[in-house]
Amino acid sequence: MISASRVLLGVCAALLSVVAGGCQIRQDMADQPKNRPLSPSPFFDDGRSERPLIENTVARGSIADDDLFVPKESNAFPLPLTPELLKRGQERYRIFCSPCHGIQGDGNGMVSTRGMKHPPSFQDPRLRQVPNGYIYDVATNGFGAMLSYSAQIPPADRWAIIAYVRALQLSRNAPASELPPDVRAKLPGGGSSK
What is the tally of structural domains in the chain? 1
Q: CA-CA distance, 159 to 139, in Å (whole number)?
A: 10
- The predicted structure's pLDDT at residue 61: 66
- Please report whether residue 38 resides in a domain: no
What's the domain range around 120?
A: 66-174
CA distances from 28 to 21, 23, 121 (A): 11, 9, 54
DSSP β-bridge partners for residue 50: none
Distance, CA of 65 to CA of 155 (rounded, Å) = 7
Residue 194 is predicted with a pLDDT of 47
- Structural domain includes residue 87: yes
The number of C-alpha atoms within 13 Å of 88 and in the hemisphere containing its C-beta is 17
Phi, psi of 105, deg, nearest 5: 75, 20
Question: Does 78 fall in a domain?
Answer: yes
Residue at 139 is within a domain? yes
- Calculate helix-pair angle for 155-173, 83-92, nearest 10 degrees: 100
Residue 163 is assigned to a structural domain of this protein: yes
Please check whether residue 134 lies inside any domain of the structure.
yes
pLDDT, tens digit (0-9, with 9 covering 90-100), for 122-176:
999 999 999 999 999 999 999 988 999 999 999 999 999 999 999 999 888 878 8
Q: What is the CATH number of the domain that holds 101?
A: 1.10.760.10
Q: Is residue 40 classed as helix, strand or coil in its secondary structure?
A: strand
pLDDT digits (tens, 9 = 90+) for 59-86: 776 677 777 888 899 999 999 999 999 9
Instruction: Decide if 21 is inside a domain.
Output: no
Domain membership flag for residue 156 = yes
